[in-house]
C-alpha cells in the first residue's frame, strides 16, 4: 500500500488501511531500539524541526529520538509563550522555517487547529504533536499499538477512557482511532468533564467509573490537570480521587487480563493509585512510552519518503 498523506493532523483523517500500515511499520521498527547501535540510515540528510509552543518532555524527546534513530537531523524549537504573545505570528514563523528547507515539521500548540493552519501554509509535511483539546494522533497510535501488542487485536475490545474528556486531545484521538478499528469505547467522568454531544462520536458515556470499566479489556486513565480545580470542573482533588481514582477495588470489575494505560505524566493517587500504576500485571504505561518512539519513527519514515 502506498502512503500518500502529506500531513498527520488527526486520527479523524486516517483510514483503517492507513492506521494498519502505520502500526505495522511501527512494529517493524521496534527492534531498532533494542540494538547496540540504535541507528539506521533511512532518513539521512533529512531535516526534522520539532516546533513546540507548549511544554513537553515525553513527546518532544520521543520525536527527537525517533528522528535520530533514523539518522535525520532533528532541531528543537521551544517557544515558552504563544506566537501572539511573542510578537511573531505562526504564519511568519512558518515561512521562516520553510525558507530553511526542512522536510518535516512536528508541531505542538495550545491552540486547536494550529497544525492545520501551518499545513495550509507550507509545503513540508506536518505532524500534529498535540493541539489544544483537539487531537494528539501520535499518542493514539502508540496507544493502539500497545493494545494490539498486548491483546493481539483492536476489534471487539471494550476500552474505557476515564477522566477529563472535555479537555483531552488524547481522548478525542483515541475515540476516532479505536472506534474506526472496531473497538467499543466507553467514557466515564463527572458531567463537567464530558463535552456536549460527545455520544455522537459513537461512544457510550457514563458518570461512574464503575459503569465504564465493568468488563473492560483496557482502561485508559487521563491526567487531571490540577489547575482545573479552580474552574469548578470538580470541587476538589480529594473528592475526585475518592470517586474516579483507579484502584484495587474498582479494577476488579474489569476483565481479569485488563491492561491499564495512561498518557502521562501521572498524578499518583489522583486518577490512578500508585500500586496499580506500578503493578506490571496491569500497567503497560512504560510499554506505551517504548512504542511511542516506534510509532513516531514509522510516521517520520512514511512521510519522509523512506517508504517509496
Partner 1 sequence: MNLVLKGARVIDPSQKIDAPMNILIKDGKIAELGDNTDKAKRDNGSEQTKTIDVKNMIVTPGLIDMHVHLREPGFEYKETIASGCAAAVAGGFTSIACMPNTKPVNDNRSITEFIRRKAAEANLANVYPIGAISMGAEGKILTEFWDMKDAGIVAFSDDGRPLMDAALMRRALEYAHSLELPIIQHCEDTNLSAGGLMHEGYYSTILGLRGIPSLAEETMIARDILIAEYTDTKVHIAHVSTAGAVRLIREAKKRRIKITAETAPHYFTLTDESLQNYDTNLKVNPPLRSAADVAAIKEGLADGTIDALACDHAPHARTDKEVEFEYAANGISGLETSLALSLALVHEGVLAWRELIEKMSTNPARILNLSKGALVPGADADITVIDPQVKWKVSVKDFRSRGKNSPFDGRALQGRAVLTIVGGEIKYCAPSFKL
Q: Provide the binding-site residues for partner 1, judged by CB under 8 A.
A: 12, 82-84, 89-91, 109-114, 116-117, 131-135, 169, 172, 195-198, 200-201
Q: Which is nearer to partner 1, 118 or 258 (CB)?
A: 118
Place of cell 514563523: 93
The candidate with the shortest Cα–Cα distance to 145, out of 14, 297, 20, 299, is 20
CA distance 192 to 23: 34
Q: Which is nearer to partner 1, 200 or 236 (CB)?
A: 200
Q: Which is nearer to partner 1, 12 or 150 (CB)?
A: 12
Q: How far is the CB of 168 from partner 1 (least distance, A)?
A: 9
Contacting residues for 114 by C-beta, under 8 A, at least 6 apart: 53, 90, 107, 131, 132
> Which is it for the CA torsion 99, 89, 103, 120, positive or negative?
negative
Q: How far is the CB of 23 from partner 1 (least distance, A)?
A: 23
CA distance 46 to 304: 8
Q: Which is nearer to partner 1, 178 or 258 (CB)?
A: 178
DSSP strands (E only) in the chain = 47-52, 73-78, 104-109, 125-131, 158-162, 184-188, 204-206, 218-221, 259-261
Q: How far is the CB of 116 from partner 1 (least distance, A)?
A: 5
Q: How far is the CB of 211 from partner 1 (least distance, A)?
A: 21
CA distance 288 to 224: 19
Q: Which is nearer to partner 1, 10 or 304 (CB)?
A: 10
User: What does the DSSP 8-state code read for residue 179?
Assistant: H
Q: Which is nearer to partner 1, 40 or 201 (CB)?
A: 201
Q: Which is nearer to partner 1, 190 or 306 (CB)?
A: 190
Q: How far is the CB of 157 from partner 1 (least distance, A)?
A: 22
Contacting residues for 68 by C-beta, under 8 A, at least 6 apart: 39, 74
Q: How far is the CB of 250 from partner 1 (least distance, A)?
A: 26
On the CB side of 25, how many CA atoms lie within 13 Å of its CA? 22
Q: How far is CA 264 from CA 41, 256, 272, 295, in A?
A: 31, 24, 11, 17
Is residue 188 a contact partner of residue 199, using CB atoms and an 8 Å limit? no
Q: How far is the CB of 133 from partner 1 (least distance, A)?
A: 4
- Cis peptide leading into 265, omega within 30 of 0? yes
Q: Which residues pair with 272 in a beta bridge?
A: 246, 268
Q: How far is the CB of 165 from partner 1 (least distance, A)?
A: 9
Q: Which is nearer to partner 1, 91 or 237 (CB)?
A: 91
Helix (H) or strand (E) run with residue 175 in it: helix 169-180
Rg (CA), the chain: 19
Amino acid at each position: 500500500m502506498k502512503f500518500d498523506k502529506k500531513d498527520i493532523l488527526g486520527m479523524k483523517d486516517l483510514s483503517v488501511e492507513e492506521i494498519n500500515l502505520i502500526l505495522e511499520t511501527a512494529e517493524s521498527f521496534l527492534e531498532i531500539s533494542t540494538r547496540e547501535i540504535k541507528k539506521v540510515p533511512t532518513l539521512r540528510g533529512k531535516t526534522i524541526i520539532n516546533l513546540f509552543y507548549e511544554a513537553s518532555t515525553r513527546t518532544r524527546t520521543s520525536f527527537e529520538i525517533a528522528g535520530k534513530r533514523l539518522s535525520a537531523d532533528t532541531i528543537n524549537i521551544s517557544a515558552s509563550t504563544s506566537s501572539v504573545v511573542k510578537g511573531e505570528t505562526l504564519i511568519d514563523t512558518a515561512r521562516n522555517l520553510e525558507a530553511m528547507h526542512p522536510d518535516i515539521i512536528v508541531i505542538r500548540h495550545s491552540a486547536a487547529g494550529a497544525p492545520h493552519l501551518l499545513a495550509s501554509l507550507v509545503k513540508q509535511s506536518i505532524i500534529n504533536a498535540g493541539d489544544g483539546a483537539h487531537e494528539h494522533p501520535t499518542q493514539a497510535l502508540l496507544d493502539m499499538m500497545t493494545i494490539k501488542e498486548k491483546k493481539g487485536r483492536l476489534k471487539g475490545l471494550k476500552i474505557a477512557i476515564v477522566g477529563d474528556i472535555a479537555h483531552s486531545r488524547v481522548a478525542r484521538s483515541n475515540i476516532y482511532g479505536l472506534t474506526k478499528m472496531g473497538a467499543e469505547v466507553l467514557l466515564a467522568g463527572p458531567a463537567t468533564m464530558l463535552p456536549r454531544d460527545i455520544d455522537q462520536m459513537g461512544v457510550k458515556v457514563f458518570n461512574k467509573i464503575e459503569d465504564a470499566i465493568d468488563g473492560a479489556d483496557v482502561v485508559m486513565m487521563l491526567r487531571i490537570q490540577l489547575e482545573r480545580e479552580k474552574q469548578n470542573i470538580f470541587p476538589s482533588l480529594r473528592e475526585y480521587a475518592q470517586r474516579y481514582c483507579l484502584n484495587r477495588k474498582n479494577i476488579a470489575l474489569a476483565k481479569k487480563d485488563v491492561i491499564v494505560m495512561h498518557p502521562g505524566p501521572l498524578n499518583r493517587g489522583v486518577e490512578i493509585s500508585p500500586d496499580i500504576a506500578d503493578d506490571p500485571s496491569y500497567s503497560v504505561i512504560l510499554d506505551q512510552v517504548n512504542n511511542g518512539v516506534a510509532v513516531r519513527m514509522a510516521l517520520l519514515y512514511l512521510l519522509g519518503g523512506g517508504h517509496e
